[in-house]
Structure 1
Amino acid sequence: MKKTNKLLSVAVATAMGLSVNVSAQDGAEEVTEEVVVTGIRSSLKKSMDIKRDSIGVVDAISAEDIGKFPDTNLAESLQRITGVSIDRSVGEGNSVTVRGFGADFNLVTFNGRQMPTASLGDGASPPSSRSYDFANLASESIAGVEVYKTSNPTVASGGIGSTINIKSARPLEAPGLKWTVGGKGVMDTSQNDSTDTTPEISGFYSNTFADDTFGIAVSGSYQQRKASVNQANVGWRDGYLGDCDFAGEWGALPRAECNSWNQTGLHQNQPGDGDVYAIPQNADYALADIDRERVNGQVVLQYRPSDRLTGTLDYTYSENEIEVRNSSVGIWFNHEFTASAWTDGPVAGPLFYTEIFDFMPWQGGVTDLSYSGSLTSNISENASLGLNLEWEATDNLTLELDYHDSSAESKPNNIYGSNMSVGTTVISLREQSIDFSNDLPLISYIDNGINPEDPANRLASGSAFRNAQFRDDLDQLQLNGRYEVDQDIFAAGAFVDSIDFGVSLINNNVQSTYGFLQTDSWGGLGTPADIPDEIFTFESLPDKFDGIPGANDPGMLQGFYSFNFEQMVDTLEQQFGICSNSWTGTNIEGTCLANPTVDRRIKEETVAAYVQFNNTFDMLGRDANLNIGGRYEETEVTSSALVPIPVGTNWAADNEFFLTFNDPIDLDFTTLNDKYHHFLPSVSFDMMPTEYTKLRAAWSTSITRPTYANLQGGTELATLFRIGGGFGSEGNPGLPPNESKNFDISYEWYYNDDSYISLGYFNKRVDNFVGTDVIKREAFGLTNPAFGPNADFCRAQVGQDSSAIRQCLIDNFDTIGDPADDPVIFDVTIPVTNDETATLEGYEFAFQHNFGDSGFGAIFNYTIVDGDFAYDNTKSYRDSQFTLVGLSDSANLIAFYDKDGIQARLAYNWRDEFLAGNGPNPFYTEAYGQLDANLSYELNDNWIIFAESINLTGEDRRGHRRSDNTVTFSNPGEPRYMIGARYKY
């Protein structure tokens, strides 16, 4: 993996992130401070002025010009802000972390309105996140983005990390005719088998009429992108030490003192009783080709019949279609006769892991090399219709009525489902291995003379068609007001200059459905003649991972034959009915779309009221500002869940057990209700010790509501389980929100018109923090065919080997769970509330400097976060831990030039290693830095040409579990180039 720290020496030339603050109260006026001068420097100047004049800690990014946001993607722009980092999906930013709090802890609003969210992720499981997917929005129609880091009673609650408000343009705020149109070609060098250049087109029109009393603004964009993500993946299971007399204890390593396994000396430096480790379950090389189309549009109508009344009607629509075609080759471990070497404990990682089948004649002395083709093809649609009336009722009283009806939906965009995979296999491996000594895990094998890479030897194997859908409907009514206190009338005016107040009603209805069709023939189906050779295409592997240490190792698997997904499905449907046979599940006729077996619905009704008292007074001969207020919210939660009820179990393969269901599947619907309320106080203060410095302090209480997954009722079990048991999960509709007590203090020095230094400290004390616990229990009366009278009989006949026991059951009984068998024990993961208070604190440093009239400038910001949320890797996976996903330090280093019509920018963004997933098996994303660049030239007052690059140096990415050697993914990075032109009037 390329090391990101090598760029620190180059980072002085690193690009631009706009780190600025926005007033919570004067947002409309800030937008009208437009656009006589445009470009990087003017945008930074306006942003700095907003930062200096704001109340509380509110950072923002403003458009550099009409239709010109600093980055193509909103998330990519947000990462330039101090304390903000992003997560990427298929090479593009899609969610944000603010001050260590991940996407589910940040509330996104659009023009001050709470927005619904819908994202299927990979489409392979029921969706459940509140996280907003920024990949749905293009940036060309956005006027600005505000990040409220401190709570404000006037702003909707729900974000402990932040509330992020996306602002669109309003025609009456910038009167007159303005329009722009632009286009660019995008070349993503990650593409595997193509050098296609894809288009991005955008346009914006705004005009006012009738003496600027009526205005219309229309914006739209179309973007297409083709890219590839090549990734090595390793799946893991928690390791344990087996008994010396049980050679078939699946997944175990032999103890150092054991000789009965005939493996003496094959396991080097193996973990001991006190060590925590994991062993590889499977590994593959996956080549994913991505095709995305994004359409955005907005229409805004404004009418101002008098100076005291303004009406705004707006409609916003976005559509994001994404298709991912994935081809992979991989191995699966049975964990019987193995060899390995390990790093030292207490958290041990493998140096290599090998399985040898020559010593397992009961399995035929071979295992398989598996091939998979998968398709993820989904569409996300967002629509919002809103009406806003702003009325200056008197010289002292201003009222605002705002209503919107919005929806977000993600669903499959094909006849197969949201995520589908079809497998083929060649059973000819005598030995299989993974070498973990490089950044890239190296898969290798020895065959028995039958070439496993020859398509002519392939059998069809298992398949899975998953159908996930998610819809969120949200309507909100707000009444906001401000009363300017007349000090000549009210004595209280000596202490209060103005009062902000308001009420809000929100109805949020969420539905998540999921179903699947599955063929569990992973050991092979039919004969090689069932699959025509012409649907296969050879894929070379070393060049797909070029640049990652290990990719040029001659021992690495050199290539494989991928296949066309649709042709393979058609072939296997004709041969075996993989979509329509009743034993795969119940499909919608004529398709491979599974009927939903999970239907989860959540309704949240929230009533809120707030008041804030504002006062400006003299301190040390200068103005000081004090804002004191509070917000009261009451929420009713109704959670209904329809989940499948398994009726039995089946020992389907050597080490694979599956739950079985009736046809049609038995379903159980349950409904639970709960209610909670919170009062959220807030105090903000700022003063100017000198003419050019500002001191700020803020204290507040904020909340974040639990994820939909945590609220959803019903118990869901994984359909696949192992000889030792299975896994499941369930939610808890009664979970209270996380509640945080927040304290912020900062010092800012504005030492010239467009340069400043700021230093801030923040502290958050979080109660009701939701973690996970694992409970071992039985479920639905399910039994394990590997442990019972029949299995005991077979064990007495053939010994302890699990493969031999299963074959004995087939020969003498069956492999179906019997009521007399032992129960299956499931590790059920449940959300639990931490009784303790967890503390997070951090420091933010920001520096912005312009070098006089030279046109050159630089920005640097760094955020340090720390807290009680670190995961203890030395604890067993059965120990409950409370952690925070996404906690990490981050930094930006930026250089720019803006003069005489030439603009140039380099932006380097760095994020330290962070916990990317918790629960019993944590995994981490390693530290990553990325260099972006852009250059533009104004040909005249109307025409601008530009070029941009994302990930200019092609940085790689990697993740691991508790040990660095337990790699979960490793993929190379490639730059993306754009060139285009824009016309403005």
Structure 2
Amino acid sequence: MHHHFARNALSRAMSLALLGMAATPAFAQEQPQIEVPAPVPAPSRAQEPPSVPSPQSATVDEATRLDSIDVVGYFRRSIQFSTEAKRDATGFTDSIFAEDIGKFPDLNIAESLNRIPGIQLDRDVNGEGLNVAIRGLPNSFTKTVINGAQVATASIGLNAQNQNREVDLNLFPTEFFNQVTVHKTPKASLLEGGVSGVVDMRSARPFDNPGTHFTYQLQAEENDIADKISPRGSAIGSWTNDDGTFGALVGVSSARGRIGVEGYETVGWTNPGLNYVQCGIAAPEGVDPLSVRPSECNAGGGGNWLIPNVVPDNAATRAAGLTPGQVIDRDLLLALNPGLTIDQISEALIPRLGRPVHMSGDRDRDALLASFEWRPTDDMHFYVDTLYSEAHRTNDRIDVNLVGRVFGPSGLIPTDMQVDENGVVTDATFTNAQFFLEARPYVEDVKYWSINPGATFWFGDAGSRLDVQANASRSWMFRESPTILVNSPFTTIDYSNTGDVPTWDTDLDLNDPDLGWTWAGGRVNVQNEKRVVEVAGARADLQLGDDGRNVKVGVAYDTFERRIQGFDNSAAWQEYVFANVSDAELASFLRPGPYGFITGDFDSFKEATDYYRYRDEAPESAGPNTGGSTGGISEDVFGAYVEINGETEVLDRLLRFNAGTRWVTTDQEISGPVTIGGVRQWQTLTGDYDEWLPSFSAAWDVADDVVLRLSGSRTMTRPNPSSMLPNTTFTDTTAQVASQGNPNLVPYTSTNFDIGGEWYTGEEGLVGLTLFNKRVEGYTYQGTTTMPFSQLGIPYEDLESYQQDAIDARGGPDVATIVVNQQVNANATLQIQGLELIWVQPLTFITEGLGFMGNFTKINMEPSGPDADVLEGNLYGIAPKLWNATAYWENDAASIRLSYNWTEGTAGTGPNQNGIPYAQIIGEDRGQFDLSASYTFASLPSSPQVTLNVINLTGEERRSNFYYDNAVNDIYDPGRTVLLGVRGSF
């Protein structure tokens, strides 16, 4: 805590110094008279949006000034809007604009952001972009706002968890947005919460394009794995009255999508856990040599594959020539696997659950946007923005597993096994092998709504104004995910791992419902998950001066609440199923599957086993099957800031700057279920902290077409709510050691420095270089904290009597100390250094409308401090290199562009996976081609534009490995998606 106080004191000192540097020249210069051509007749200042400018309504009052736009083609115009906005920004920002309402240049907002330097896209297993990470930090360090208000979503991906503060962008139709800006350096007036940056999404409003307009878009989508055509479409209408005082915009969007994913998963790899007899070591006196598996026999860790102690009695082992009941010792293992040593056998790596996996289902989404603006005078502007989105998603996920881990009576017995130099098994014959079908027909519903009213009041002759705004949003999700798991008879298989993934040959027909599938060792689950996220806030911003030179002060109040609950009724449903569906009857609920193994007749099985009653009666559990924990967090945040924007001249060249500081205080309540004394109850823990966040940016026009930039700042991200949930348990009878979440975690904070510049080469062209450095503190790890019992938040009277006696013997609740295992902030600093290159180049000297754009990012991370080793193990998921490029050509009627995005592979987890010290999950390099083309029939009503989009043109897969290249961890093929459509406007 002392260290935290010292950092705050330093921040306050930095704030005062920066303000002192900036205050003197803020109003020292006379305001220049600038005439800027606008793409439409410039409306009065009352027609201006209060904060984020629109390319359709540029005026000299805006902080961002757009030069004359004369390029042809909607994509080139979007690039030029972005180029001009970057040029006129003071800090380090990148923007993407829609050329017109409903004409965002990409199908997915996350995909659009992927074209910005320093952005790493997080894709779901079906290839869809979910959320973004910025400059070497996880996506939970990215703050997302819509029209200046923070966004939180309850949705999760197909294989994602979203246990932190990520925002799934696929819930929002791109057609509803006119501009997305990534602020890589902060301003005091920006909402805090993003150490790495802020993604600011601006929804369409009627005065973005005054008059009466209607746009439509219809598309047919087909994925070559889902193999079904799905429709999607949108319509947006806007109107403003003749005197420019009132406007309305309403948009609807609907998508009926299908997913198709083929893949292979392993749930990690494992090796044998040999007992004393199997590795040939004498057991100590009194130790059972068959049941104990000592570390001397398993020097490489792991050991989740248990070779049976004796040969099981089944048809497979007898057919393999083994004698049921024979002890499997060292000599037998060596005889069955000639050429291998016992050490090689003990280190042999196979998948824990090698399984082909297939996903198919619906991805439906309906959304509504409404925006109203009222401008009764030139000095007043009122608006209300509303957004509603709901998604219905299903996923019939089925996989068939070769059991490599410990599972009931099974345990592979290896014969003729071969391994490579890393111990990975390349060939083998396994007897006593067993498969199980795992079927999970997910059903998920997600809803999101928000309302954002506000007003702007102008006063004085200098363009001073007051902005006030309120916001409220709620996101809700419910997922049910039953599991049906049945086992095959035992068999002998030929196993091979010499291609992309391990394969097997078996005499069993795994696609035969009458094979002899059994409940023995199987299970059924009924598991539900409910999430609710609510956000509300209000803010007021006072600007004294025009947009070029001003002092701004503001206050903000925000609340954030999130609750995750798991529900589980598996034991009761399984008891009913096993009692009412015999092995003989089981086959009637199985069907041949489309992928070479059986699937389930889910509807008839649910009806026959009273599934829906058990689903609806499911009691609350410790957490859902996505890996989260049941619990909730409530945050109340108050913020205030002062900011100065100014202009001056240095060496007869314009220097623009922004300086300020933001102060925020956060009060938290974290609650979750705990069981003390056999009684389950919800416990609430509290915490609070405050931060000073100074920032300074300057942009110097050193030449007519060259801008140099400099920025220094401090940013913050609030800690992971999942690390603060109570979940209090005692691990000993004397109540001396407990496990609990930590409500006193302080935020992640980063001290940032950026330097760079751009050369603007004409039209949409630019060449830019940015060097950045971040020093991040606040990373967490599993540590210990010693505190008096009274600080645990547990009533003394709820303890067992023997625990009360133990605490009394140590001095009572206020004196007796408890060692608490919990997440704590590491005493370490992560230094992130990187560079970003961007090049946008029109090639009109070759042919009109031709050009390319590309960028490259390189990131290096280095921890330091006493806990640097701990921090090193938590650095994963961020690619050290990434780049993308787009070639485009457009004229009055036709356009085509081809994009390629490449991300270097990186570790997805820390080491020690499955108990194997060196093992990490490492993603492979991946590149993806996307194609977009259109042709406009300008002579027809509404000027219809026929569009063609191809996502993942070459059908690239996504793959990760269990440390070694030939030990695949998982691989997913999302297929190629083709969209053919038409859009137009009146």
Task: Please classify the TM superposition score into its range, dividing by the shorter chain length.
Answer: 0.7 to 0.9
1:613 to 1:522, Cα distance in 2 relative to 1, 3 A: same
Matching residue's letter, 2:555 = V
Match of 1:218 among 247, 250, 255: 250
More deviation in 198-207 or 457-466?
Answer: 457-466
What is residue 902 of structure 1 aligned with on the other side?
A: 894
Matching residue's letter, 1:175 = P
Shift of 1:962: 2.8
Shift of 1:537: 2.2
What is residue 409 of structure 1 aligned with on the other side?
A: 476
Q: How does 1:419-818 map to 2 (within 5 A)?
A: 419-429=481-491, 431-432=492-493, 434-445=495-506, 453-460=512-519, 461-484=522-545, 497-519=549-571, 527-533=582-588, 535-540=590-595, 559-571=596-608, 573=609, 587=614, 591=616, 593-596=618-621, 599-643=630-674, 666-715=679-728, 731-772=741-782
1:239 to 1:249, Cα distance in 2 relative to 1, 3 A: farther
Secondary structure of the 2:558 match is: strand
Shift of 1:939: 0.4
Match of 1:389 among 455, 472, 475: 455
Matching residue's letter, 1:862 = F
Q: How does 1:144-159 map to 2 (within 5 A)?
A: 144-159=179-194
Provide Cα deviations, 1:164-211, integer angstroms capped at 9, x if missing partner: 0110112123211121111011111111xxx32111110111111140
Please tell me whether residue 93 in structure 1 is matched to residue 129 in structure 2. yes
| Distance in 2 of aligned mates of 1:277 and 1:835 | 38
1:485 to 1:208, Cα distance in 2 relative to 1, 3 A: closer
Shift of 1:611: 1.0
Please tell me whether residue 235 in structure 1 is matched to residue 267 in structure 2. yes
Could you tell me whether the CA contact under 8 Å between 1:451 and 1:457 is conserved in 2?
A: no
What is residue 948 of structure 1 aligned with on the other side?
A: 949
Secondary structure of the 1:688 match is: strand
1:879 to 1:903, Cα distance in 2 relative to 1, 3 A: closer
Secondary structure of the 1:868 match is: strand
Could you tell me whether the CA contact under 8 Å between 1:773 and 1:880 is conserved in 2?
A: no
Match of 1:356 among 431, 442, 449: 431
1:124 to 1:204, Cα distance in 2 relative to 1, 3 A: closer
1:236 to 1:829, Cα distance in 2 relative to 1, 3 A: farther
| Distance in 1 of aligned mates of 2:505 and 2:753 | 54
Provide Cα deviations, 1:252-309, integer angstroms capped at 9, x if missing partner: 8956999736322739777979x99965322211111021111111111100111111
| Distance in 2 of aligned mates of 1:445 and 1:260 | 27
Instruction: State the TM-score, normalized to the length of structure 1.
Output: 0.77
Q: How does 1:97-116 map to 2 (within 5 A)?
A: 97-116=133-152
Q: How does 1:789-868 map to 2 (within 5 A)?
A: 830-852=822-844, 854-868=848-862
Could you tell me whether the CA contact under 8 Å between 1:772 and 1:831 is conserved in 2?
A: yes
Matching residue's letter, 1:737 = P
Could you tell me whether the CA contact under 8 Å between 1:189 and 1:227 is conserved in 2?
A: no
| Distance in 2 of aligned mates of 1:267 and 1:714 | 51
1:256 to 1:115, Cα distance in 2 relative to 1, 3 A: closer
| Distance in 2 of aligned mates of 1:947 and 1:251 | 62
| Distance in 2 of aligned mates of 1:153 and 1:271 | 64
Shift of 1:671: 1.2
Please tell me whether residue 374 in structure 1 is matched to residue 440 in structure 2. yes
Instruction: State the TM-score, normalized to the length of structure 2.
Output: 0.77
1:375 to 1:454, Cα distance in 2 relative to 1, 3 A: closer
Could you tell me whether the CA contact under 8 Å between 2:511 and 2:597 is conserved in 1?
A: no
What is residue 334 of structure 2 aligned with on the other side?
A: 264
Shift of 1:631: 0.6
Where does structure 1 lack aligned partners over 5 or more consecutive residues?
A: 1-22, 358-366, 487-495, 541-558, 581-586, 648-665, 719-727, 776-827
Match of 2:937 among 917, 933, 939: 939
Matching residue's letter, 1:600 = G
Q: How many residues align?
A: 815
Could you tell me whether the CA contact under 8 Å between 1:291 and 1:324 is conserved in 2?
A: yes
More deviation in 477-486 or 376-385?
Answer: 477-486
Provide Cα deviations, 1:903-944, integer angstroms capped at 9, x if missing partner: 111011111112334475342322111101011111016211
Please tell me whether residue 314 in structure 1 is matched to residue 385 in structure 2. yes
Matching residue's letter, 1:529 = A
Could you tell me whether the CA contact under 8 Å between 1:401 and 1:479 is conserved in 2?
A: yes
Shift of 1:614: 1.8
Secondary structure of the 1:915 match is: coil
1:715 to 1:886, Cα distance in 2 relative to 1, 3 A: farther
Matching residue's letter, 1:751 = T
Secondary structure of the 2:352 match is: strand
1:123 to 1:689, Cα distance in 2 relative to 1, 3 A: closer
Provide Cα deviations, 1:308-329, integer angstroms capped at 9, x if missing partner: 1100012110111111001221
Matching residue's letter, 1:958 = R
Q: RMSD across aligned C-alpha pairs, in angstroms? A: 3.5
| Distance in 1 of aligned mates of 2:49 and 2:341 | 59
Could you tell me whether the CA contact under 8 Å between 1:239 and 1:252 is conserved in 2?
A: no
More deviation in 913-922 or 54-63?
Answer: 913-922
| Distance in 2 of aligned mates of 1:745 and 1:974 | 41
| Distance in 1 of aligned mates of 2:510 and 2:702 | 78
| Distance in 1 of aligned mates of 2:181 and 2:887 | 23
Could you tell me whether the CA contact under 8 Å between 1:38 and 1:65 is conserved in 2?
A: no
Shift of 1:531: 2.2
Could you tell me whether the CA contact under 8 Å between 1:510 and 1:602 is conserved in 2?
A: yes
More deviation in 612-621 or 32-41?
Answer: 32-41
| Distance in 2 of aligned mates of 1:124 and 1:29 | 35
| Distance in 1 of aligned mates of 2:246 and 2:158 | 45
1:919 to 1:671, Cα distance in 2 relative to 1, 3 A: farther
Provide Cα deviations, 1:789-820, integer angstroms capped at 9, x if missing partner: xxxxxxxxxxxxxxxxxxxxxxxxxxxxxxxx
What is residue 14 of structure 2 aligned with on the other side?
A: none
Matching residue's letter, 2:849 = G
Where does structure 2 lack aligned partners over 5 or more consecutive residues?
A: 1-47, 59-65, 284-288, 301-327, 624-629, 732-737, 786-819, 914-919
| Distance in 1 of aligned mates of 2:77 and 2:923 | 36
| Distance in 2 of aligned mates of 1:389 and 1:830 | 45
| Distance in 1 of aligned mates of 2:584 and 2:84 | 72
Could you tell me whether the CA contact under 8 Å between 1:269 and 1:343 is conserved in 2?
A: no
1:321 to 1:351, Cα distance in 2 relative to 1, 3 A: same
More deviation in 504-513 or 88-97?
Answer: 88-97
Shift of 1:636: 0.7
Please tell me whether residue 960 in structure 1 is matched to residue 980 in structure 2. no
| Distance in 2 of aligned mates of 1:579 and 1:391 | 55
Could you tell me whether the CA contact under 8 Å between 1:632 and 1:680 is conserved in 2?
A: yes
